[in-house]
Chains A and B, each alone.
Chain A
Amino acid sequence: MNFKRIQLIFLAIFIAMDVFLFLAYNRNSVGDSTAAGSNNILEEMRKDQITYSKPTTQKYEGYYFSGNNGDALRQAAPNLQQQSIRFSGDELVSEFKKPLKITSGSAKQTLDKIVANPGLVAEGKHYSYSKQLSSSSEIIYVQRVEQKPVYSHFCQIRFDLDSQHRVVGYSQNYLEGVKILKEAAKTISDERALTWLYQYNEIPNGAKVTWVHLAYTRLLTARGQYVFLPTWVFAVKINNSSSVILKRVNAYTGEVIKTGENNQTSNANSEIFTLT
């Protein structure tokens, strides 16, 4: 009888010890994994009330390439009809002789036909419609290089809309002489890029990441050529504000590419879009 009692006491002690050990073990392993897992960072972002659609861990391939705004547009300009053309630098500025009426639903269809017509837009086959960059006053087509869009002023067609929602003209930049500078290399995933962006304090609390694209961004200019690299472009909508800011992350290294207009003269990047 006495022995049974001792056994009972021991059992109780050991069960208590097991519970304690288990808790201690669990706490330790949880505390440890914070260093590595990006899931925890995503959770942290949720706590900061940052909303985003579920990022993927898929990696892609991209290139470094160079090109410039040469005179391809100037050469093509005489063949363009039903518009008056002038150049501002390398940019072709066109005004349609007859403004084009479009309805908001059919904007893409109508303009696709115009862009595809070599008599109306030069080199149009290299461009595609970008819903995300377009706004109520401007419809943007971006040039594509190696199957990916280039988000840069140097590679765009911008259709201007007037107050009656008519296309009055467009301005165009065309990147030519595209040369691949290095063989394809794997990019990081958009999940990784998003966590870097957050860790560099580029996403304020309560912000909303509305979309993310893998697109090329101009990094620098060297020997008269623009050099582009693949970037993850995030559209960040800041709380209580209607404007969307594009944040760019180097898709190879995860570095945040600082954008700003104050240092255009240097090699620094001056790509910035503010959409309203």
Chain B
Amino acid sequence: MKLRNIWLPASLVTAVLISIGLSGMMWTNPAHSNLSSRTKVTKNSDSSSNTTFQDIYLPSQLISTSNSGKQELLTNSRVNVATDLRDRMSHFTAEKAQTISHGNAKKYLAQLKHKGTILMNYNSAISVNFFRKAFNNQIKIPNQKFNRMQLMLNDPSHLYLLNDQGYRVVRVALKHNKTKLRNSTTNSMVKHPVTFRLLNGKIILDYPQSVKLRTYSYQLTQQTQDYYANRIMTTNANSNVQIKRHKNSTDYDDHGFRHMTVDKKTDTVNFTDYNSQVKSSSFLQTMNHVYEQLVMVGIPLDSVRFYDYDPSSDTAVFRTYAGGLPVFDQSNFGAIQMKVLDQSSYRMRFSLDSLQIPVPPVQSSATIMSTSDLLKQLKAAGIKVNKVQDIELGYEWSRDRSLAKVVNLSPTWYVKIGNQWENYRKLLGQE
């Protein structure tokens, strides 16, 4: 009797709830909003987005310290060592972290030289949340900044996070990590002896002996400016893109949110988007946003990797990498430079050139002098050592003289002076 009385109101209520639920789903689902037509255009044809977030944000430098204390930079022409290590670290879980040293340069250097370890380095600090995403692991510790990760060969239950800024060392206790990293993983690699030292308060990698490095040659792949104009300037179907041609550059303007300038002299693009929301200003969110924009623009990312991020100017730099070392001189900013202007806009500068297809080099290798020799030469040329902000081994990008469309990458020293990376030969006045 009761049931009969109740079924009508009950089913009516259910029907009302279902309709509310359905309409709610339709409203909240972004795919149904009118805005979707804009995002769809850009998503269709990412033909070259074989490079994932995890790939582009791989740590750029690997250093092993043997049980006897010998430190070596690891590179390998066959295997990408960093991806290998990343895959091993993907199951890491942790909840406890403890700061064991802070503000002490001596202790910090000692930690960097800790025996039986593998160090993975970034050029600038990353956050724990970022680390979790880039390495796909489950490390849940209070969010903090660090730029080096140290794996213990003999102690699989601990991981050290190091930050050059403030010389902070944090020990993370890993849960259920039993598998030891074996030295065999590093046996087949090309190794160059290195050591850490302080230069003007900055930790630098010191090469005590001259090093023999591989040279590379690549076929130059050059995207046309039309490709980018089509991809990023024609997304708003209602507006007309105004094109202004100048002697050395071309301007594209959509009378709305996007502006693009192609510099024909340097083959670089300067792209500004005033309508691009960043959800929050956390490091991970920013980097995620940057990656999404790189994919949206459609820049070939084959050998491009994250180089550094400057929080004071909100600028991320990506460089082409060869054999584990960054390439300089591609343009005056690297391969891609992305500057977040505010919550809703950014400016991206990138090179039309990219390196995708390697070709046999003329010489297979070149020898580079040691760090101390470099400092001596700089000193002899009248450059004050205390003005040197950083030094790094890198590849010099130069066009081949006899073969058109071929770029040679030869290893050389780069010195950072006045916030600008310069080839040491230029500083010595040899160029």
Which residues of A are in contact with B by a Cβ distance under 8 Å?
4, 7-8, 10-11, 14-15, 17-18, 21-22, 24-25, 28-29, 32, 35-36, 63-64, 66, 179-186, 188, 196, 219-220, 222-223, 225, 227, 229, 252-255
Any A CB within 8 A of the CB of B185: no
Contact B47 A222 (CB under 8 A): no
Q: What is the 8 Å Cβ interface bit string for chain B, positions 326-365, against chain A (1 contact, 0 not)? A: 0000000000000000000000000000001111101010
User: For chain B residues 1-42, which have a beta carbon within 8 Å of chain A?
Assistant: 8-9, 11-12, 15-16, 18-19, 22-23, 25-26, 29, 31-32, 36, 40
Nearest-CB residue, chain B, relative to A64: B358
Q: Which of A11, A15, A32, A64 contacts B357 (CB 8 A)?
A: A64
Contacts of A253 in B (CB 8 A): 47-48, 50, 356
Alpha-carbon gap, A64 to B357, bound state (A): 8
Count residues of chain B with CB under 8 A from any CB of chain A: 42
Contacts of B48 in A (CB 8 A): 253
Any A CB within 8 A of the CB of B78: yes
Alpha-carbon gap, A253 to B302, bound state (A): 9
Contact A227 B359 (CB under 8 A): yes
Alpha-carbon gap, A18 to B22, bound state (A): 8
Any A CB within 8 A of the CB of B430: no
Alpha-carbon gap, A165 to B31, bound state (A): 63
Any A CB within 8 A of the CB of B219: yes
Contacts of A196 in B (CB 8 A): 47
Contacts of A64 in B (CB 8 A): 357-358
Alpha-carbon gap, A180 to B359, bound state (A): 10
Contact A181 B358 (CB under 8 A): yes
Any A CB within 8 A of the CB of B77: yes
Nearest-CB residue, chain A, relative to B362: A223
Contacts of A254 in B (CB 8 A): 47
Instruction: Jot down 5 A-B pairs with beta carbons below 8 A, ordered by A.
Output: A24-B26, A179-B360, A184-B79, A225-B360, A253-B47
Report how many A-B pairs have Cβ atoms within 8 Å: 105
Alpha-carbon gap, A122 to B86, bound state (A): 43
- Known contacts A222-B403, A253-B50; 9 additional CB pairs below 8 A are A7-B8, A18-B19, A22-B22, A28-B32, A29-B31, A179-B364, A183-B79, A222-B360, A252-B50
Q: Which of A10, A21, A29, A181 contacts B22 (CB 8 A)?
A: A21
Any A CB within 8 A of the CB of B406: yes
Nearest-CB residue, chain B, relative to A36: B43
Contact B359 A66 (CB under 8 A): yes
Contact A183 B26 (CB under 8 A): no
Alpha-carbon gap, A153 to B15, bound state (A): 70
Q: Which of A11, A28, A183, A188 contacts B50 (CB 8 A)?
A: A188
Contacts of B230 in A (CB 8 A): none
Contacts of A7 in B (CB 8 A): 8-9, 12
Which of A10, A32, A64, A181 has the most chain B CB atoms closer than 10 A to its own CB? A181
A181 touching B360 in the complex, CB below 8 Å, given contacts A14-B15, A253-B48, A253-B50: yes
Closest 7 CB pairs of A and B: A181-B358, A14-B15, A222-B359, A21-B22, A225-B360, A66-B360, A32-B31
Alpha-carbon gap, A24 to B19, bound state (A): 12
Contact B12 A222 (CB under 8 A): no
Contact B360 A4 (CB under 8 A): no
Q: Which of A8, A182, A229 contacts B8 (CB 8 A)?
A: A8
Chain B: minimal CB distance from A112 (Å): 29
Contacts of A183 in B (CB 8 A): 76-80, 323
Contact B15 A11 (CB under 8 A): yes
Which of A184, A186, A222, A225 has the most chain B CB atoms closer than 10 A to its own CB? A222
Contacts of A252 in B (CB 8 A): 50, 302, 356
Any A CB within 8 A of the CB of B44: yes
Alpha-carbon gap, A32 to B32, bound state (A): 9
Chain A: minimal CB distance from B48 (Å): 6
Nearest-CB residue, chain B, relative to A222: B359
Chain A: minimal CB distance from B404 (Å): 11
Nearest-CB residue, chain B, relative to A24: B26
Q: Which of A8, A17, A186 contacts B19 (CB 8 A)?
A: A17
Contacts of B25 in A (CB 8 A): 25
Nearest-CB residue, chain B, relative to A146: B78
Nearest-CB residue, chain A, relative to B303: A182
Contact B15 A15 (CB under 8 A): yes
Contact B359 A181 (CB under 8 A): yes
Alpha-carbon gap, A220 to B50, bound state (A): 22
Contact B18 A18 (CB under 8 A): yes
Nearest-CB residue, chain A, relative to B405: A267
Contact A182 B358 (CB under 8 A): yes
Nearest-CB residue, chain A, relative to B76: A183
Nearest-CB residue, chain A, relative to B323: A183
Chain B: minimal CB distance from A89 (Å): 20
Which of B26, B40, B78, B360 has the most chain A CB atoms closer than 10 A to its own CB? B360
Contacts of B18 in A (CB 8 A): 14, 18
Contacts of A14 in B (CB 8 A): 12, 15-16, 18-19
Contacts of B22 in A (CB 8 A): 18, 21-22, 25
Contact B78 A11 (CB under 8 A): no
Contact A180 B8 (CB under 8 A): no
Nearest-CB residue, chain B, relative to A181: B358
Contact A223 B19 (CB under 8 A): no
Contact B358 A28 (CB under 8 A): no
Contact B359 A28 (CB under 8 A): no
A227 touching B358 in the complex, CB below 8 Å, given contacts A25-B22, A35-B40: yes
Contact A63 B11 (CB under 8 A): no
Chain B: minimal CB distance from A44 (Å): 15
Contacts of B50 in A (CB 8 A): 186, 188, 252-253
Contacts of A11 in B (CB 8 A): 8, 11-12, 15
Contacts of A28 in B (CB 8 A): 26, 29, 31-32
Contact A184 B78 (CB under 8 A): yes
